[in-house]
Amino acid sequence: MRKKLFFIFLIFLLGFANGEDLIKEGISSLVRKDYQKAIELFKQSGKKSPGIFYNLALSYWGKGDKGYAIYYLKKALKADPFYKRANMALSKIENKREGKQIIDKKLSYFLFLSLYFILNLYIFFSIIRLVKFRKTLFVFILLLLIASIPLLLQNNFLSKGNKAVIVEKGKVNLYAEPDDNSLIIYSLNEGEEISIISELGGWYQIKKGDTYFGWIKGSDIKKL
C-alpha cells in the first residue's frame, strides 16, 4: 500500500514539474512571438489559473484573434476579479473598440415615471370621485403597463443568462430565427460579450445589452 501511494505521489510530482516546464517554454515562445506554439504549450500544461489565462490572451492577441484574447482576459477575471494585468489589458482593448454599443435606458425610466405619475393622479381622482377622469387614466395605466412589461422582462429576467464572447473573426450575424435564411437583425463584432438565453440544435438564443435579441451559431461564440 505504501509503495502504491509513493508511486502515485511521484507521478503527481512529475506531472507538476512537467506542467511548470511547459509554462516556462510557453512564456519563452510568447517572448519570441511564436504565438501558436505558446498557445499549444499553455494549454498542454493543464493549468487553469489567472496567469495562464492572461498569457493565453496575450498569445491570441499577438496572433490576431481578438475574440479569443478578450475571452481569456474575461476568464482570468472570472478566476480572480482583482487580477490587475487582466483588468488593465481589457480596459485598453475596450477603449480602442469601434462602434461600441451604448445602451440607452431613458425609455424605461420615462415609462416608469409616467406610470408612477398617472397612478398618483388616479388615486387623487378616486379620492375626489371624478369618475370620468378615472376611466381615462385607467386606460393610460393599462397602456403603460403593456408597454413596460417587455422592458421589465429584458432588464431583469433575461439578464440572468450565461455569458459568452464572440470569437469568430470579423462581424457575426444575429438572426431572428435559428436559421441562416431568416432575417438578420444585427451584426456583432468579434470580442463582444453576450448573454445566452437558450440553446437549440447548435444555435444559441442570445441577448446583447437591453436592445438586441436573436439567434447566433454556436460555433461563433465561446462560453465563459
Q: Which of 22-31, 107-116, 144-153 has the lowest mean pLDDT?
A: 144-153
**CA angle (126 as vertex; 121, 127 as ends), nearest 5:** 100
Where is pLDDT greater, at 126 or 17? 126
At residue 212, the 3 state secondary structure works out as strand
C-alpha separations of 202 from 52, 93, 182, 184, 221 in Å = 29, 29, 16, 18, 11
**482570468: which residue's cell?**
76
pTM for the model: 0.61
Over 50: is that where the pLDDT of 197 sits?
yes
Pairing label, strands 221-223, 212-217: unpaired
Conformational region of residue 118, where left means phi above 0, alpha means psi within -120 to 50, and beta covers everything else: alpha
pLDDT in tens, 115-146: 666 666 666 666 666 556 666 666 666 666 66
In the predicted model, what is the mean pLDDT of residues 75-88?
87
Over 50: is that where the pLDDT of 103 sits?
no
